[in-house]
Structure 1
Amino acid sequence: MPDFVKDNHLFHNPVEFAMSKIGGTYKMPILWRLKDKKWRFSELQKSLSHASDRMLSKALKELVEDGFVTKEIFPEVPPRVEYTITDRGQKAIPVIEMLRNYGLDLLQEFEVEHPKR
């Protein structure tokens, strides 16, 4: 496949493009959590305690902009915000699951202690 440009960024292959959309430290864990239910920002914050508020907000904003997640703001005081995975986001779940399982296999092969499956 020839190189292509999207949003002023040069991509060399489709994997690179896909990783630009769901890769990084927080996007896949966010999508993984949203696969079964809606989450509020504070719940995601607690669940991803190693993520700063800024980085979590940035990842969520990008996922919303790219159509993997929807953000619903409820007009309450204080405002309540819920995030939900979209059909596009659901299509990424099998890929994330495969990568997760591969990572768990590698941990075992490299004899790294890890949580049970």
Structure 2
Amino acid sequence: MADFVYQGRVYYSPIELSMAFIGGTWKMPILLALRKGPVRYSVLRSIIPHITDKMLYSQLRDLEKKGMLTRQVYSEKPPRVEYKLTALGKRSIKVIDTLQAFGKHLMKTEKVAVKRQR
């Protein structure tokens, strides 16, 4: 496949572009947390316990910028913010589910030690 440019960056394969959208430690867990419908910021924080506020905020903004989710602000006291998957975000869930299943397979076959939660 020929190289291509997206938003000023050269990509060498469609997989590389896909990973730019959903790759990294936190994007997939965020997208999975939104699979059943809109979720408030505080709920996302509790669903993804190891993420810092700064990282969650920056990843949400990046996913919003890439068109993977929308951010709805309600003018209430105190303000309420909900995040929701877009059609593009929903489409990524099938891919993430496949990657998750492969990861679980690797955990079994490679005898990965699972760290217990406290």
TM over 0.5: same fold? yes
Q: Give the aligned length.
A: 115
Partner of 2:7: 7
Partner of 2:47: 47
TM-aligned CA deviation for residue 7 of structure 1:
1.6
Report SS of the residue matched to 1:24: coil
Question: Displaced runs of 4+ in structure 1, greater than 6 A?
Answer: none
Cα distance in 1, alignment partners of residues 47 and 67 from structure 2: 22
- The one-letter code matched in structure 2 to 1:35 is R
5 Å-filtered alignment, 1:21-60, equals 21-60=21-60
Q: What is the TM-score normalised by the length of structure 1?
A: 0.93
TM-aligned CA deviation for residue 114 of structure 1:
4.7
- The one-letter code matched in structure 2 to 1:75 is S
Partner of 2:79: 79
For structure 2, the 5+ residue unaligned runs are none
What RMSD, in angstroms, separates the aligned Cα atoms of the two structures? 1.3
Per-residue deviation, residues 12-53 of structure 1 (Å, max 9, x unmatched): 110000100111111111111111121101111111121111
For structure 1, the 5+ residue unaligned runs are none
Report SS of the residue matched to 1:2: coil
- The one-letter code matched in structure 1 to 2:74 is F
Cα distance in 1, alignment partners of residues 28 and 99 from structure 2: 10
TM-aligned CA deviation for residue 67 of structure 1:
1.0
Report SS of the residue matched to 1:51: coil
Q: What is the TM-score normalised by the length of structure 2?
A: 0.92
